[in-house]
Chain A
Amino acid sequence: MIRRTLIALAIGLLLAAGMAQTVRIGLHQDPPNLDPILSQAFSDRSVTYQIYDRLVDLDENLTIVPMLATSWEVSDDGLVYTLQIREGVTFHDGTPLDAESVRYTLDRNLTREGSARRDELSSIENVAVTGPHTVEITLRSPNAAFLAVLSGNAGAIVSPTAAEAAGADFGNAPVGSGPFIFDSRERQNHLTLRANDDYWNGAPSIRQLVYRPFPDADVRVANLLSGGVDIIIPIEPKDIASVDAADGYDVIAYDSLGWRALVMNLTRPPFDDPQVRLAVAQAIDRAALAAVVYDNAVVPLIGPFPPNTPGYDPDLEAPAYDPEAARATLEAAGALGTEFTLLILPHEVLHGQFWQAILTQAGFVVQIEQMEAGPYLEVVNNMRHDATLVGWSGRIDPDPQFFPWVHSTGNLNWGGFDDPRIDDLLESARAETDPVTREGLYRDVARLVVEESMIVWGIQSQNIVGVASNLEGIPLIPDGTVRWHGVTVR
Chain B
Amino acid sequence: MITFALRRLLATIPTLLVVTLLVFGLVRLLPGDPARLMLGESANPQAIAELRTQMGLDRPIMVQYAAWLADVVRLDLGRSLVDNASVSRIIGQKLPTTIELSLLSMLVALVLAVPAGTIGAVKRGKPIDSAVTVFALAGISLPNFFLGILLIFFFSVQLRWVPASGYVGLLEDPLRNLSLMALPAITIGVGLGAILTRYLRASLIETLSQDYVRTALAKGVPGLAVITRHALRNAMIPVITAFGLQLGTLLGGAIITEQIFSIPGFGRLLVDAVSTRDLPVIQGVVLIAALAVFLVSFVVDLLYAAADPRITYS
Asked if A140 is an interface residue, CB under 8 A from chain B, the answer is no
Q: Are A219 and B268 in contact (CB under 8 A)?
A: no
Please list 27 pairs of residues, one from A and one from B, whose beta carbons are closer than 8 Å in the complex, sorted by A's number: A38-B40, A114-B43, A114-B47, A116-B40, A169-B84, A172-B85, A186-B93, A187-B83, A187-B93, A188-B94, A188-B269, A188-B272, A189-B93, A219-B165, A223-B166, A226-B163, A227-B163, A346-B275, A372-B275, A372-B277, A374-B32, A374-B81, A374-B276, A375-B277, A377-B40, A378-B36, A411-B41
Bits for A152-187, please: 1 = Cβ < 8 Å to B, else 0: 000000000000000011011000000000000011
Q: Are B40 and A228 in contact (CB under 8 A)?
A: no
**Chain B interface residues toward A at CB < 8 A:** 31-32, 36-37, 39-43, 47, 81-85, 90, 93-94, 156, 163-167, 259, 261-262, 264, 268-269, 272, 275-277
Kindly list chain B residues whose C-beta atoms are within 8 Å of the C-beta of A38: 40
Rounded to whole angstroms, the CA-CA distance of A223 and B152 in the bound complex is 13
Q: Are B42 and A114 in contact (CB under 8 A)?
A: yes
State whether A219 and B164 are in contact (beta carbons under 8 Å apart), knowing that A116-B42, A378-B41 are contacts in the complex.
Answer: yes
Kindly list chain B residues whose C-beta atoms are within 8 Å of the C-beta of A228: 163, 166
Query: B167 CB to closest chain A CB, in angstroms?
Result: 7
Kindly list chain B residues whose C-beta atoms are within 8 Å of the C-beta of A172: 83-85
Rounded to whole angstroms, the CA-CA distance of A372 and B82 in the bound complex is 12
Rounded to whole angstroms, the CA-CA distance of A457 and B41 in the bound complex is 24
Closest residue of chain A to B169 (Cβ to Cβ) is: A189
Kindly list chain A residues whose C-beta atoms are within 8 Å of the C-beta of B259: 216
Of the residues B37, B83, B166, contact of A226 by C-beta under 8 Å: B166
Bits for A245-281, please: 1 = Cβ < 8 Å to B, else 0: 0000000000000000000000000000000000000
Asked if A141 is an interface residue, CB under 8 A from chain B, the answer is no
Closest residue of chain A to B31 (Cβ to Cβ) is: A375
Q: Are A223 and B40 in contact (CB under 8 A)?
A: no
Kindly list chain B residues whose C-beta atoms are within 8 Å of the C-beta of A116: 40, 42
Asked if A32 is an interface residue, CB under 8 A from chain B, the answer is yes
Q: Are A222 and B84 in contact (CB under 8 A)?
A: no
Query: B37 CB to closest chain A CB, in angstroms?
Result: 6
Asked if A373 is an interface residue, CB under 8 A from chain B, the answer is yes
Count contacts on A: residues with CB < 8 A to the other chain: 37
Query: B27 CB to closest chain A CB, in angstroms?
Result: 14
State whether A189 and B167 are in contact (beta carbons under 8 Å apart), knowing that A378-B37, A378-B41, A381-B41 are contacts in the complex.
Answer: yes
Closest residue of chain B to A113 (Cβ to Cβ) is: B47
Bits for A196-207, please: 1 = Cβ < 8 Å to B, else 0: 000000000000
Query: A170 CB to closest chain B CB, in angstroms?
Result: 11
Rounded to whole angstroms, the CA-CA distance of A375 and B43 in the bound complex is 14
Q: Are A222 and B276 in contact (CB under 8 A)?
A: no
Kindly list chain A residues whose C-beta atoms are within 8 Å of the C-beta of B85: 172, 187
**Chain A interface residues toward B at CB < 8 A:** 32-33, 38, 40, 113-116, 118-119, 168-169, 171-172, 186-189, 214-216, 218-219, 222-223, 226-228, 346, 372-375, 377-378, 381, 411
Rounded to whole angstroms, the CA-CA distance of A171 and B83 in the bound complex is 8
Query: B95 CB to closest chain A CB, in angstroms?
Result: 13
Q: Are A219 and B262 in contact (CB under 8 A)?
A: yes
Rounded to whole angstroms, the CA-CA distance of A223 and B176 in the bound complex is 13
Kindly list chain A residues whose C-beta atoms are within 8 Å of the C-beta of B269: 188
Kindly list chain B residues whose C-beta atoms are within 8 Å of the C-beta of A171: 83
Query: A375 CB to closest chain B CB, in angstroms?
Result: 5
- Apart from A187-B93, A346-B275, A374-B37: 6 A-B pairs, beta carbons within 8 A: A115-B42, A186-B93, A222-B166, A226-B156, A375-B277, A411-B42
Of the residues B164, B268, B275, contact of A188 by C-beta under 8 Å: B268
Rounded to whole angstroms, the CA-CA distance of A227 and B264 in the bound complex is 18
Kindly list chain B residues whose C-beta atoms are within 8 Å of the C-beta of A377: 40-41
Query: B257 CB to closest chain A CB, in angstroms?
Result: 13
Q: Are B272 and A373 in contact (CB under 8 A)?
A: no
Q: Are A168 and B39 in contact (CB under 8 A)?
A: no
Closest residue of chain A to B40 (Cβ to Cβ) is: A114
Closest residue of chain B to A40 (Cβ to Cβ) is: B40
Kindly list chain A residues whose C-beta atoms are within 8 Å of the C-beta of B264: 186, 188-189
Q: Are A219 and B166 in contact (CB under 8 A)?
A: yes
Kindly list chain B residues whose C-beta atoms are within 8 Å of the C-beta of A216: 259, 262
Kindly list chain B residues whose C-beta atoms are within 8 Å of the C-beta of A186: 93, 264
Rounded to whole angstroms, the CA-CA distance of A189 and B165 in the bound complex is 13
Closest residue of chain A to B47 (Cβ to Cβ) is: A113
Rounded to whole angstroms, the CA-CA distance of A52 and B262 in the bound complex is 30
Query: B31 CB to closest chain A CB, in angstroms?
Result: 8
Rounded to whole angstroms, the CA-CA distance of A456 and B234 in the bound complex is 71
Q: Which 7 A-B pairs have the closest CB atoms?
A: A226-B163, A222-B164, A219-B262, A372-B275, A189-B264, A228-B166, A188-B264
Q: Are A214 and B262 in contact (CB under 8 A)?
A: yes
Query: A412 CB to closest chain B CB, in angstroms?
Result: 9
Q: Are B164 and A373 in contact (CB under 8 A)?
A: no
Kindly list chain B residues whose C-beta atoms are within 8 Å of the C-beta of A40: 40-41
Query: A421 CB to closest chain B CB, in angstroms?
Result: 27
Query: B86 CB to closest chain A CB, in angstroms?
Result: 11
Kindly list chain A residues whose C-beta atoms are within 8 Å of the C-beta of B94: 188
Query: A222 CB to closest chain B CB, in angstroms?
Result: 4
Kindly list chain B residues whose C-beta atoms are within 8 Å of the C-beta of A375: 31-32, 37, 277
Kindly list chain A residues whose C-beta atoms are within 8 Å of the C-beta of B167: 189
Q: Are A373 and B276 in contact (CB under 8 A)?
A: yes
Query: A49 CB to closest chain B CB, in angstroms?
Result: 20
Closest residue of chain B to A33 (Cβ to Cβ) is: B83
Kindly list chain B residues whose C-beta atoms are within 8 Å of the C-beta of A187: 83, 85, 90, 93
Rounded to whole angstroms, the CA-CA distance of A381 and B33 in the bound complex is 14
**Residue with the highest number of chain A CB atoms closer than 10 Å, among B42, B94, B277:** B42
Q: Are A223 and B83 in contact (CB under 8 A)?
A: no
Kindly list chain A residues whose C-beta atoms are within 8 Å of the C-beta of B81: 374
Rounded to whole angstroms, the CA-CA distance of A32 and B276 in the bound complex is 11
Rounded to whole angstroms, the CA-CA distance of A169 and B166 in the bound complex is 29
State whether A32 and B47 are in contact (beta carbons under 8 Å apart), knowing that A226-B164, A372-B275 are contacts in the complex.
Answer: no
Q: Are B163 and A222 in contact (CB under 8 A)?
A: yes
Kindly list chain A residues whose C-beta atoms are within 8 Å of the C-beta of B36: 378
Query: B168 CB to closest chain A CB, in angstroms?
Result: 8
Kindly list chain B residues whose C-beta atoms are within 8 Å of the C-beta of A346: 275
Query: A25 CB to closest chain B CB, in angstroms?
Result: 14
Rounded to whole angstroms, the CA-CA distance of A63 and B94 in the bound complex is 44
Query: A415 CB to closest chain B CB, in angstroms?
Result: 16
Closest residue of chain A to B89 (Cβ to Cβ) is: A187
Of the residues B93, B165, B268, contact of A223 by C-beta under 8 Å: B165
Rounded to whole angstroms, the CA-CA distance of A414 and B164 in the bound complex is 39
Rounded to whole angstroms, the CA-CA distance of A214 and B260 in the bound complex is 11
Kindly list chain A residues whose C-beta atoms are within 8 Å of the C-beta of B47: 113-114
Closest residue of chain B to A229 (Cβ to Cβ) is: B166
Query: B280 CB to closest chain A CB, in angstroms?
Result: 14
Rounded to whole angstroms, the CA-CA distance of A346 and B274 in the bound complex is 13
Rounded to whole angstroms, the CA-CA distance of A186 and B47 in the bound complex is 30
